[in-house]
Amino acid sequence: MDVLYLTEADVERLLSMEMALEVVESAFRTLASGQAQDQPRQRLRAAAGTWLHYMAAAEDAGGYFGMKLYTSSPEGVRFLVPLYRGDTGRLVALLEADTLGRMRTGAASGVATKYMARPDAARVAILGTGHQAPTQLLALARVRRLERVHAYSPNAERRRRFAEEMSSLLSVPVEALGSAAEAVREADIVVVVTSAKQPVLEGAWLAPGTHINAVGANFPQKRELDDVVIQRAARIVVDSRAQARSESGDLIIPFEGQPERWQQVRELSEVVAGRYPGREKPDEITLFKSNGVAIEDVATAARVYERGRAEGVGRTLAMWEP
C-alpha cells in the first residue's frame, strides 16, 4: 500500500493561508450540517513532563477521516496527522503537522473574525509574539483591511523582532509596545496567544465593539482572560462546546458554580451556518475562545494531501506489503 509522506517543508509549500481559511470555514459548515464528526482532545501522561495528545475527526462529505497525534516533552513538541480514506479505511498520507496546526489555528481565528468582528475593524492588538502569533496576523489580514497592529510580549527583544518581521510580511505597520494595556487601548480586534497561566487581558481595557480571539490557554487550570472580559462579552463562541467544557480555563474558572452560564456559549459552526449571529450591534464585545479541534486538522490535511498528490510533492512509503 502506497502512503504519501509530507514533511513540514512540503506542507509549507502546499498550504497557503487562503487555502486554510477556505478549508476551515467549509469544515465548520460541514460540521453544522451533520456531515462531519469531531472528537475532543484526549491526553495521556507517559512520564513526568511527557504527554501524548490525540484528537480525531471524520469529514463524511470529503471522504476522509484521521487524527492529530502529538507528544510534548522537555525535548519539544512533535505533531503528526495520519489521514485515511473513509470508504476503504486505507491510510493514504502521513503529514508532519506543526506548520499545518499553526495555519489552521490562525485560520480558525480568521473565520471567527470574519463573522464576529465589525466590518470596519482595522486596528489589531496581539498579546504574545511566539510560535503561533504570525499565522494569527496572516489570517486577520485576509479577512479585514488592517491599518496597524500593536504587539506586546514580556520579552522586549522578541516583540521587537516580531514587529519588524510582521511589518515586512504584511506591509502593515506593526509596532512593539511596552505593556499589554497600551497595546489593547483602542484596538478593534484583540488576539491573545500566550503560554500564560494567569490572565494577561483585562476586560477594563476593552473598547466597546472589540472582538477577541483567545487562543493560547487549553488546559482547565490556565487562563488568559480575566473575569471582566467574560462578563463584558455579549457573545461567546467556541470551536467545540464539549472540548471547551473540559479544557477552557478561560470559561471553566469564571463559570465555576454557575453551570447555567454554559448555555450562553455557542459554537463557531452555528455562526458559520447562519444559525447564530456572530454580531448584531456595533458596540458589542464578542469573544471567540479557540481550543483547536480535530476537524480543522483533518480537513486541512486532506486538502494538502490532494494538492501534494496532484503536484507530485512528497515521497511514497510502501506499507503493509505482502
Catalytic residues: 68
- Using alpha carbons, select from 188, 32, 172, 45 the residue that is nearest to residue 122: 188
Looking at residue 198, the DSSP 8-state letter turns out to be S
Cross-strand pairs, 43:
53
H or E stretch including 122? Answer: none
Please answer whether residues 309 and 14 qualify as being in contact, where contact means their C-beta atoms are separated by less than 8 angstroms: no
Burial 281-305 (b: 16+ CB within 10 A, else e): eeebbbbbbbbbbbbbbbbbbbbbb
Q: Quick one: angle between helices 133-143 and 156-170, nearest 10?
A: 30
Looking at residue 210, the DSSP 8-state letter turns out to be -
Q: Per DSSP, which regions of 60-153 are E strands?
A: 64-73, 76-85, 91-96, 123-127, 148-152
